[in-house]
Amino acid sequence: MLKQREFRTFLFLILLFVIVGIVNTDFLSLGNIHNVLKSSLLYIVLAIGMTFVLLTGNIDISVGGVLGLSAAVSGIILRDGGSIILAVFIAILIGIIIGLINGLGVTKLKISSFIMTLGMLGILRVIQVIYTDGKWIENLPIAFKQLSQINILGINALAIIVIVAVILIQLFLSNGNKGRYFAAIGDNEDGAILLGIPVKRYKTYSFIISSVCASIAGLIFASQIGFISTTAGLGIEMTVIAATVLGGVSLVGGLGSIVGASIGAIIMTSIISALVFMKVPAFWNDAISGSLLIIIVVTDALLARKSSNQAKKERLNARVIQKEV
């Protein structure tokens, strides 16, 4: 069942479709809805990983770089005759290594997650350009490009896999004892330590999960697009963060869900599609994503302050009642 924050996000998605549909009825066509959902898969996978990091009270700016490098490396492997299994393995290995470095930098070296992952983003961009010699990677095998086109009973197979993953991961975070650790760390790190939760380990896990999701997104990107440019994944981190927070995941940690983040990802994809139907120039995409992110962050901060003040008021009332007794 959708919680209040996720339900509001879902209503916003419906309202978006209705408003744009009034302007251009083609936006409500089954074909466009299918395309929006298919295009959102990339952002949903990225949002899954970002949710883990945000729940712990951190942030991962490097996801665009991980996506680009993973796509480039796997693309070259495939172009040069390597197997799909090898390309997937190497891409995921890249995600694990980068996530581990990010996690250790934050937990062991005490570097701010923003600074650590921002620096990593810059490093990965340079590595990608050097590795690809600044050239696009084309001529990917047809079999690989067709992976994202497979349908089961008229439904995209990749969409089915992603939906199942969202449900299973949400169940893990909501009902699994260890799954709850991530939100507990972001909600009250000192309290989590007192409860015996290995905080540093689970923070590192969150960065590894985020980077692995970015690597998988890189594979999806390469399969859907059919080529990898030197700017693959450029600026996507802002869209993913906006989508995740729009879906109800708090930037200060401890609150949010995979389902909400996924709905947020669909909304961001829908907005991009809506701009096309409303004939708005593509360069407005980043401006709108940035504006949404600012609005969401301000709203999130106001809600957090309201919640904090309410909690303080309840504690004060409890003390007054106790004193009177």
Domains of the chain: 4-283 (1.10.3470)
Evaluate if residue 1 carries a pLDDT over 80.
no
Q: Please say if the pLDDT value at position 192 is more than 50.
A: yes
How many of the other CB atoms lie within 10 Å of CB of 101? 19
| Closest CA relative to residue 243, chosen from 26, 54, 17, 57 | 54
Distance, CA of 150 to CA of 108 (rounded, Å)? 43
pLDDT at 324 over 70: no
Q: What is the pTM of this model?
A: 0.90
Average pLDDT of the chain? 89
- Report the C-alpha gap between 50 and 256 in whole angstroms: 11
pLDDT band, very low/low/confident/very high, at 276 (cuts 50, 70, 90): confident
**Average pLDDT in the 41-70 region?**
97
Q: Among candidates 294, 253, 236, 299, which has minimal Cα distance to 8?
A: 299
